[in-house]
Structure 1
Amino acid sequence: MGMLMGLWIWQLPCLAFAAGNFLEELSDVYCGSGEMSFSFPVGFEDFASGIVVLDNMDKSHILQNDTACGLWMEERTDKTLLVTATYDGCYVRNEDEEYVMTVILDRMNNGEVDHYKKDIKCPLKQAFPAMDAPSAGDCAAIQRSDQLACADNSVSRDVCEQLGCCFSRNDHSLACYFGNKVTAQCTGNGLVVIAVSKDVTIPPLILDSARVVNLDSSCPGTSVSRTSAFVSFMFPLSCSVRQTTANGIVYENTVEVAKGITTWQGVSITRDSMMRLLVRCSFSQTGAAPLSVQVVTLPPPLPVSTKGPLFLEMKLADDSAYTSYYQDKDYPITKVLREPVYVEVVLLRRKDPSLVLVLNNCWATPSPDPTHQMQWSLIVNGCPYTEEESEYLTLLATVPTTIDFPNYYKHFIVSMFVFVDQTTQKAFSHEVSNNIFA
C-alpha cells in the first residue's frame, strides 16, 4: 500500500555555533516510511565546505544533491538546510535494527584539524501509518457530480480510507472517491495513481491542461479521468522515469497544470494559477511492495536573468503627498467628476538598485478586464495622452527620493471622468478601472 509522505520542519534558534555543537543540533530527525530527514541549523553556511557524508562503502562525499543516490537538500526560508535521504539510497546503511546515516565535519583550529562525527538514526522496523484520509467535512463538501472514483466499489471503508480517500456508505455506485487536494498511490501490481484537486491552489486550477509531463499517451494501460473538480491519472510504473540506486529502484513522474495566456494587441496576461509537482515511488530490489510514495512540489528555477514577468502593484493615495492609501475595504471608491485621483505604481519583489520602473502605457476601462474594447488612454509611451484638453491631461508626479528604491515607483494624477455611450450620450454606471503596461 502506498503512503503519501510529508516532511517535518523545525524552527531552530539563531545562535553562534562551535563546530561540535553544530552537529549536535541535528538531533531533530523525521523517520518516514522510506526516508529520513534532518535539518542543519541557522549558520550552516559557515561550516558547509567542511561537511561530508559517508556512503554505504564508508567512502566520504561532500554533502550535495545526489538524486541518483537518494539524497536531496533544500535551503528553507528560515535559513536552515533540510536534508532528506532515502533508506535504499547510497548514504543510509542498516546497523543493529536501525537505519544509520553518518555526517562528518572537519574544521581547522590553530593549524590542527578538529574531527566531528554524528550518526543520524531511524528504527529499521516501524509501523507506518496509512495516508491521511480527508475529514468528514471535506468529503461532504464534494458535490456528487465532482466525485472521482479512488478505488473499486467492493473495497471496505478501512481500505478506502487507508488509500487516503473518502468513503460513502450510502452510495453503492461510487463508494470510494478522492477527497484530498493531492493523492498519490504506487501499487504492488505495478501501477501509479495520481489525483489532483482544482482547489490545490488559489485561484483554482484549470484542470483541462493537467498532464503527466513524461507520460506517453500511447503507453498501454494509461487512463485519465476528470470531473470539474478533480483529475486522476493511472498508468504502469514502466511508463515512468526510472532510476536505479544501490538498494532499490525509484520511479518519478512530474504532474503539471499550465496557466492559460490571453494575448491582445501584443500584450499577454493570465489569471490562472499553475502547479508543478513531483511524485516519486521507491521500491526495493528484493521485493515488489513499494517502500514509499513522495509528493514534492517543484518551485520554479531561479534564472540568472530573465525578461519577466515583473510583479507590479497599483494603489490609490487619498492625498497629494502620497502619505496614506485607500485600503481594500474602501473599494469601490467614489469620486466627483474632475476630482484628482492620485495613482501609485510600484515594482515588487526586487532589491536591485539598478532597476528602474518605466510605465509605457496606462489606460482606463469600464470593467476590470484590461482587454475591454472600450478604453481611454491616460499615459502613452510614457507621456500624458495628448488628445485630452490641456487642463485635464494626466500629470506625472515626482517620487520622493527619501523612500527606499525610489526608481521602483511612479506617481501620476488623473482627473476623474466617466465613460459615455456614444449613441445615447448617457454616462455608464460601470466602475472605472486602471490598467498598466510597464
Structure 2
Amino acid sequence: MNNNYDVIILGAGAAGLMCAGQASQRGRRVLVIEHAEKPGKKILISGGGRCNFTNLHTVPERFLSANPHFAKSALSRYTPQDFLSLVERHGIAWHEKTLGQLFCDGSAQQIVDLLLAECATGNFTLSCGETVRQVRHEGGRFSVTTDRHVAQAPSLVLATGGPSIPKIGATAYAYELARQFGLKVVEPRPALVPLTLSGEDVLFRELSGVATEVIARCGPASFREAALFTHRGLSGPAILQVSSYWRRGNTIEIDFLPNAGTGWLVETKHQNPRSTLRNALRARLPDRLADALNDRLKLEGPLANLSDAALRDGETQLANWPFRPNGSEGFAKAEVTAGGISTAELSSKTMEAKRVPGLYAIGEAVDVTGWLGGYNFQWAWASGWAAAQAV
C-alpha cells in the first residue's frame, strides 16, 4: 500500500465517505481508514434499514450546538437538494415519509453504494478492519500508524463520529485525538434517546407498548409527534426530539390531547352530562392510557356532578402533564451524540482546526447535533463537503 497521500480520513461513515468522494474528485489522493470490517455501518441501520438520508426542512435552527450559528455556512453551501440530486443521479428511488423526511424506497445499502461509487471516480483507497495505533504531526505532515502500516499526508480529517450505538463499533476516539492536538471538547451526551422514569412516574411503566400523538416540551423546545411508553420510561419520536434538550433535573411536559380545543371537557359535560372523564378520555386516547390518566386525576362520577372549574383544571393537567426523568437509556440507545469537538476550535467554512493547520473535524464528531428525521445525515453531507473543498 502506498504510504503517501494528500488526505487521510479516519472513519468511513456518512461524513467521511462524503468528504472522501468530493476530495478525490478534486484530484486529491485519499486514504480512508475504518476500524470496522465494512464502511457505513450506521448508514445501514438507519431509518429502519432504508436510510432517512436528508430532510427537506433543514435549517440551522434545527441543530443544537454551543454556537448556534456555526452550522450555517456548511448547510447553506451543501443543501438537501444537492444531496437529493446526487441520489437521483444514481437512480435511487426515494419517498418523503412525513415532516420532510426522505427515505430510500429500497435499502440503505444504496446510499453506501452511492458514496463508494462517488469515491471510486477519483484516487481513493479504503482500508477497513484497520486499527489506528498512533497519530503524529510534525513538519507539516500527519503520520498515522495502524496495525498494518504507516501512512502520511498534509491533511487529516477526523470523521469517526461519537460514542452513540457502541454495538456497531462507535467510540469516542475523535475526542481523544482532538484533545491530543489541544482542541477543546464539549462534554458529549446521548441525544435522540429514550428517557427513563422513577419515583411516582414509574407507575406509567404499566403502559409499556402504548403510543399516542402528543406535544412534548422541554424548555423552549416543543415537538408534536408520537410518544411511546416503555418498560423503562418514555420513547417515540416526540420524546427522542426533546431528549436532546433535556438535562438531568429538568422536567418535560406532555400535552396528551393536542387536538382538543380549550374547554373541550366542559363542552363534553354540557353535551353529555352523564358521561364520565374515563369515557371522555377513552374517546380520544388508547384505553390503557385513558384509564391511567383518569385514575391519577381523581375526577370521579358523571361529568354533571363536577364543577366547570374542576374540569378546566383537569384540562390544564392533561395539556401540561409533568414528567421528571431520572436519566436516559444512554449511548447504547442514543441515535446520535450531542456535544463533541468544540466549534470554537474550527473554521465554519472549512471545518479546519484554527490552531492545527491541516487538521479537520466533520460530522457527528463535532458539537453540532440535528433533530430526528434526516438532519444529522444532512450535517454529515454538508460538513464533509465543506472540508473536501479545503483539503
TM-score between both structures, scaled by the size of structure 2: 0.25
TM-score between both structures, scaled by the size of structure 1: 0.23
Higher helix content, 1 or 2:
2
Q: Which has the higher contact order (CA 8 A, sep 6+)?
A: 2
Which protein shows a greater Rg? 1
